[in-house]
């Protein structure tokens, strides 16, 4: 039930939905003054959530920043969180999103020996296609590009970050993994992820952030004033992540 409810909450908190609701309300109302105010409000909301500067500032305040790895640091395992790909059944292959940086950043560490093995955690986050297990699909991809089967361990039953943590804890206990673990996920997702993993008893993990959205602060005209669909996407991501963190706090998951 929680899985389905979380999907509904994410849908309702999407900024574009708010714009549509305001526009629909302004169209349906018969009161002219209200109609005008609602229409202006929808434009203001749309401009706010498509402003790149504001989106970057919000993301900068939320993103977790980890210290860069030293070349002398060695790890027995790297736990890599899913949520970076989808499955294309027509071509029978993985399709990667921007969060695939979680995988691309850790592969050089695996190939250089700085990380000995990786654990990929992630099942299906889809309501309609629970059979598409992300970790299994990603392992299949890694084997195709020449990564040895013995170097990739998967946990492919988790549907969300909470289950990533609980299922990975069981897997780590079975492998008697106690420490010396690199923890890999996106910067925007790290805050909630670390809290969940520590809650289930996984301690002393070294965070390794990837795909950071907020770069150097810019005061260029287009960044300050021209609406951007990327900013809308960034805001949607921030709202989803902060909402998830707060809900997890209330439920005692982190």
Smallest CA-to-CA distance from 88 within 134, 120, 122, 127 is with: 134
Residue 11 DSSP symbol: H
pLDDT at 227 over 80: yes
Contact between 102 and 211 (Cβ < 8 Å) = yes
**Cα gap 137→122, rounded to integer Å:** 10
Is the model's pLDDT at 1 over the cut of 70? Answer: no
C-alpha separations of 235 from 45, 78, 135 in Å: 12, 29, 27
User: Would the pTM count as exceeding 0.85?
Assistant: yes
Report H helices in the chain. Answer: 2-12, 15-28, 32-49, 52-62, 101-112, 134-144, 161-174, 187-199, 221-225, 229-251
Residue 81 β-bridge partners: 121
- Would you place residue 12 in the very low, low, confident or very high pLDDT band (cuts 50, 70, 90)? confident
pLDDT band at 3 (very low <50, low <70, confident <90, very high): low
Q: Which residues pair with 94 in a beta bridge?
A: 87
Residue 125 reports pLDDT greater than 90: no
Alpha carbons 73 and 31: distance in angstroms, whole number = 66
- 127: pLDDT strictly greater than 90: no
In the three-class reduction of DSSP (H, G, I as helix; E, B as strand; rest coil), residue 175 is classed as coil
Which tens digits make up the pLDDT trace of 161-202? Answer: 999 999 999 999 999 988 889 999 999 999 999 999 999 999
Using CA atoms, how far residue 231 sits from 44, 58, 65, 93, 196, in Å, is 15, 11, 20, 29, 28
Rounded CA-CA distance 154/145 in Å is 17
Domains in the chain: ranges and CATH: 2-63+228-251 (no CATH), 75-210 (3.40.50.620)
């Amino acid at each position: 039930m929680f899985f389905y409810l979380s999907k509904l909450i994410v849908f309702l908190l999407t900024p574009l939905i708010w714009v549509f609701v305001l526009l629909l309300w302004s169209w349906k109302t018969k009161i002219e003054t209200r109609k005008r105010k609602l229409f202006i409000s929808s434009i203001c909301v749309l401009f706010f959530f498509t402003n790149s500067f504001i989106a970057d500032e919000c993301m900068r305040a939320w993103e977790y920043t980890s210290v860069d790895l030293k070349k002398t640091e060695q790890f027995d395992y790297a736990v890599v969180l899913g949520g970076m790909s989808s499955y294309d059944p027509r071509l029978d292959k993985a399709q990667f999103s921007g969060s695939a940086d979680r995988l691309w950043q850790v592969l050089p560490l695996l190939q250089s020996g700085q990380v000995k093995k990786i654990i990929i955690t992630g099942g299906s986050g889809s309501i309609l296609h629970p059979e598409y297990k992300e970790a299994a699909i990603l392992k299949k991809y890694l084997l195709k590009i020449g990564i040895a089967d013995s170097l990739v361990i998967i946990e492919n039953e988790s549907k969300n970050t909470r289950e990533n943590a609980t299922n990975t804890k069981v897997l780590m206990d079975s492998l008697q993994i106690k420490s010396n673990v690199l923890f890999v996920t996106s910067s925007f997702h790290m805050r909630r992820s670390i809290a969940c993993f520590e809650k289930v008893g996984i301690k002393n993990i070294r965070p390794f952030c990837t795909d950071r959205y907020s770069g150097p602060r810019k005061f260029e005209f287009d960044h300050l004033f021209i609406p951007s669909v990327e900013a809308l996407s960034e805001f949607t991501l921030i709202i989803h992540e902060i909402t998830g963190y707060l809900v997890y706090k209330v439920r005692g998951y982190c």
